[in-house]
Structures are given as structure tokens and as C-alpha cells.
Amino acid sequence: MHIHILQLCVIQAAASFIHLEPRNVSVLRGREVRFNCSTNAPWDVMNWRLGEDTILVVSVEHGTLARSESISTVNHSMSSLTVWELILSNSSFSQTVQEIRCELLPTNLKSSSALFVQEKGSVRILEGDLSVQRGVFVTFHCQAIGWYPEPSVLWMVNGTSVDRSDYNTSSIQETNNLFNSTSELQLKADTSTTVECWASVSAPLSRQNSSVKLTVVAPKSTQDYTVVIAVIVSVCTIILLAVLILILCYRKKLAKSSSENKASFYSSWADNLSCERRSVADETSGKVNLGYNTEDITSSGHSDLGNRADSTIYISSSPQVPDIVIFSSQNQDLYSNSAKKTVRQVTTV
């Protein structure tokens, strides 16, 4: 500080001057910022202004007369050079660059500097730590929220900066005038690495970062899938064969049961038919005529009965003399009591 003041004295000893430095300052909201106003000209009052507001008044005779709560001063003056330092301890955020001025009265000499108070937001990689197979392309998304002005976003992989052409960044300004930025990086997983996303503005100490770990694992062997597929196919084949065998056995059992039922039905029918024929034979004491067909005949149908009997005898391969059946008197009495007489003849061959 003292070296710089001495240099000013040597360079501009022949002429009056006023000098305010630094000329351009960018600072984060709430941070401390310092300015030095130096002059070799005579003066009575030194005014400090921020924009249109007076924030500090210094008198040659009485020192500091008025100042804001967040303002403090230090006098670094020497015999041939006046130097006052202004310390702004809690700078307020502003969307525009503000002018700081140092004015001398009554000479009306003045010097100014630019002050830009910025806002630092947050930064975060959305994906978090990942574990992927080698050769897979992974996409990372980084969000920088609540910055002013628009932040600069930078990606780093294993400590090396990624070329800006390899990722995309977009920003929007919200209603509170702060910027939200989103950046997207696509990376091929070759080796395990650390991925970092950085965001910053021009003010010192504004850089913020977020980092995640990308772990690369070997891809699963194709042989493992082959074994699994072979086992699945074998199991499915066994199950299918078992189902087919059960279906065939079931159908065979149904067929056997059906044939047994048919055989039993035919046997029962034959037995019933044989029993009927034997009962007729027993009742008539003759032989069973297999061609016999029972039929009720009225008294007026004797000729038809005779014709039927003749045709029956003619069809038989071994014609025999039919037996004559004589009904008992008991049966005759039964028929005589009926309103209509019925003649039944039995022909046996």
C-alpha cells in the first residue's frame, strides 16, 4: 500500500491529481470491498458517493463526519499525499454496475470506479454416484440455481476440463432476476472416474462445484446367458413332456372306460333278449323262433297271420314242422270274457 502511494507521488508530483482504485470491482453479495482515494491537491471536504447516494463525508479538520452503517474508513495520508480508504463491509446485490465516486471540494476534482455486486447460487449433479458396464454411454445433468449474472458452467473428468463442444448448457432468468442453468454431458464409461460440474461468475470466490463417482464394471459374460437359457429350455421341455404324457394317459383311460361301458351295455341287452326268448319257449314248451315278431291280430286278420307265418317258414334255412300250441280252457275263458277276442299264435321252427 505504501509503495503504491510513493509511486503516485513520484509520477505525479508536478501536477494535482485525484485517483480512485481499483477501477473495476466484482464482488459477491455480502462480501467486503475496499476502495482507496488518493490526491495531492488541497481540499476541505471529501465526498464518497455510491450511485446518487452519499455514503461517506470526510473533513480535513474534523475527519469523518457522516457514513453509512456498513461503511468504515482508514486514513493512510502522508505529508505530501492524502489517502483515504473506504471499506464496504456488506455489499448489496444489484442487477447493474454501480458507480463509486470520490469528490474533492472546493476544487471539484473527482475520480470514479465501477462496482458490480453479484449473486452466487448452488450447483448439483442430478444423477449421483453411478455403477455401469464398460462401454455404456452415460448422460449427466448439472443444475446451477440462483445465480447472477448467468453463470459459466464447466465439466471436469478426473481433474481434466472437458471441451465446451462436448456438452450443452442452457439458462433461463426467473422472475426474481436470478439465472437457472442446466448443462448436459454424455460420457462413455471406459474407466472408473470422478465427474465434476463447476459453476461461477466473475466475482472472486464464486466458484461452486458438485462431483459424483462413476464406477465401471465388466460386462456380463455371454456364456452366463447361454447357460441360463439352456436350463430354462430343458425345464420347459420336461414340463411339456410330462403334460403330454398325462394327457395321453387320461385319453386312454377315457377310451377304455367307454369301451367297457359299451361292452357291458351290449352284454346286458343280449342277456335281456335271451331271457325274453327263453321265457316264451318255456311258456309254449317249444323252441324259440328267432324270426318271430309279436303282433296283435284281430279276428278279421287271419289271412294276414297265415301269410306272415308262411313267409316266416320260407325264410328259415332249415324248415321244420311247427308245433301246434293248444291253449287251455282257462285261457279260453279269459279271452271269452274280453270285449274283443285276440288270437295269438306262436310259430316255432
Burial of 181 (0-12, 13-18, 19+ CB in 10 A): buried
Residue 262 lies in a domain: no
Q: List, as one string, the DSSP characters of 69-106.
A: TTEEEEE---SS-EEEEEEESSPPP-SSPEEEEEEEET
As a whole number of Å, the end-to-end CA separation of the chain is 157
The per-residue pLDDT for 338 is 46
Residue 259 lies in a domain: no
What does the pLDDT look like over 60-117, one tens digit per residue?
988 888 787 889 999 999 888 999 999 999 889 999 999 999 999 998 899 999 999 9
For residues 292 and 348, give the distance between their C-alpha atoms in angstroms, rounded to a whole number.
8
Confidence band, pLDDT 50/70/90 cuts, at residue 13: very low
What does the pLDDT look like over 276-314, one tens digit per residue?
555 555 555 555 555 555 555 444 444 444 444 444 444
Least confident segment among 130-144, 147-161, 183-197, 252-266 = 252-266
Residues spanned by the domain of 144: 122-217
226 with 194, same domain?
no
Residue whose C-alpha cell reads 462436448 in the numeric block? 166
Query: Is pLDDT above 70 for 201?
Result: yes
132 with 212, same domain?
yes
Residue 267 lies in a domain: no
For residues 70 and 88, give the distance between their C-alpha atoms in angstroms, rounded to a whole number.
6
- CATH code, domain with 176: 2.60.40.10
131 with 78, same domain?
no
For residues 166 and 184, give the distance between their C-alpha atoms in angstroms, rounded to a whole number.
9
Number of domains making up the chain: 4
What's the pTM?
0.57
Q: Which residue, of 217, 242, 268, is where some domain finishes?
A: 217
Residue 268 lies in a domain: no
Residue % of the chain over a pLDDT of 90: 50
For residues 216 and 189, give the distance between their C-alpha atoms in angstroms, rounded to a whole number.
6
Residue 195 lies in a domain: yes
The x, y and z cell numbers of residue 140, run together, are 449427466
90 with 11, same domain?
yes
200 with 240, same domain?
no
108 with 171, same domain?
no
Residue 278 lies in a domain: no
Which comes out higher in pLDDT, residue 292 or 329?
Answer: 292
Query: Is pLDDT above 70 for 43?
Result: yes
243 with 335, same domain?
no
What does the pLDDT look like over 307-326, one tens digit per residue?
444 444 444 444 554 544 44
The per-residue pLDDT for 229 is 83
The average pLDDT across 32-52 equals 93
Burial of 53 (0-12, 13-18, 19+ CB in 10 A): exposed
